[in-house]
Chains A and B, each alone.
Chain A
Amino acid sequence: DAGITQSPRHKVTETGTPVTLRCHQTENHRYMYWYRQDPGHGLRLIHYSYGVKDTDKGEVSDGYSVSRSKTEDFLLTLESATSSQTSVYFCAIRDQTMNTEAFFGQGTRLTVV
C-alpha cells in the first residue's frame, strides 16, 4: 500500500469553529489532492497541489483553504465549519510521471454539529 495517512480519521466539531485535516505521504509524490464525498455522490475535488506551495482550486473549493509547505504534507482547512461541510474527506497522491495511478487515503469522517 502507498504511504499515505490522513488524520484525524474521525472528528466532530461545532459550527463556526476552524478545522484542519492533514494528509501525510511518504512516497515523495509531487501531486496531492483533497476530495469530499457525500451520500449518493462520487468524489468531488476540493483543492489540489502540484508542488510545494503550488496549489489550485477544484470544483468545490468555497469555504476551504489548503497549504503545502513541504512535499509530504497537504493540509485542508475549514476556516469556519458549517453543517454543509459534514462529509467524508479523502486525500490522494500521485507521482509526477504521467500515465500513473493515484493512491487514496482511508478518509476522514467530519461531522459539523
Chain B
Amino acid sequence: DAKTTQPPSMDCAEGRAANLPCNHSTISGNEYVYWYRQIHSQGPQYIIHGLKNNETNEMASLIITEDRKSSTLILPHATLRDTAVYYCILMGAGGTSYGKLTFGQGTILTVHP
C-alpha cells in the first residue's frame, strides 16, 4: 500500500484554524485520501475523504493538491475537544482492497486555550 507522511505533532490555539499536512507522493490513481482521528484511545472517528477535488463537511475541509501528492486537513475553528491523533490514510477503490485501512503514526494535534 502507498504510504503517507505526517508530522508527529502540531499545536494550535483554540479558535484558530488547524492545518494538518499529509504527504502521499506515491498515491495511485484510484486511491482516496481518508482522514480519521482518535481521541483519548477511543475508536477512530471518520472525518472526511476525497479523491481529487477539495471536500468540505461539517467537521473539516480537505484540500488535495492538483498532482495529488499531498493534502491538508483543515479544522476551521479548533476547540479543545479537537485535541487528538489525526491519521491520513490512503485507500484504494478497487475490489481487492476490501476497504482495509493502513494506519501510520499520525499527527498529535494539541489545541491550547
Which A residues contact B (CB, under 8 angstroms)?
31, 33, 35, 37, 41-45, 48, 50, 56, 58-59, 88, 90, 92, 94, 98-107
Contact = CB atoms under 8 A, between A and B. Distances in A.
Contact of B98 (A31, A88, A103): A31
Contacts, number: 58
B21 interface: no
B102 A90 contact: no
A2 B33 CA distance: 21
A107 B41 contact: yes
Nearest to A39: B41
B100 A45 contact: yes
B86 to A, nearest CB: 11
A103 B46 CA distance: 7
Interface of B: 32, 34, 41-46, 49, 51, 87, 93-95, 98-106
Given A44-B103, A102-B99, 10 more contacts: A42-B106, A59-B102, A90-B43, A92-B44, A99-B51, A102-B101, A103-B46, A104-B43, A106-B42, A107-B42
Contact of B100 (A58, A103, A104): A58
15 contacts: A31-B98, A33-B100, A37-B41, A43-B44, A43-B103, A48-B100, A56-B98, A90-B44, A98-B94, A99-B32, A99-B93, A102-B46, A104-B45, A106-B42, A107-B41
B100 A42 contact: no
Contacts of B98: 31, 48, 50, 56
A59 B103 CA distance: 11
B87 A42 contact: yes
A41 B105 CA distance: 6
A90 B43 CA distance: 7
B107 to A, nearest CB: 11
B93 A98 contact: yes
A37 B34 CA distance: 19
Contacts of B102: 45, 59
A42 B99 contact: no
A107 B99 contact: no
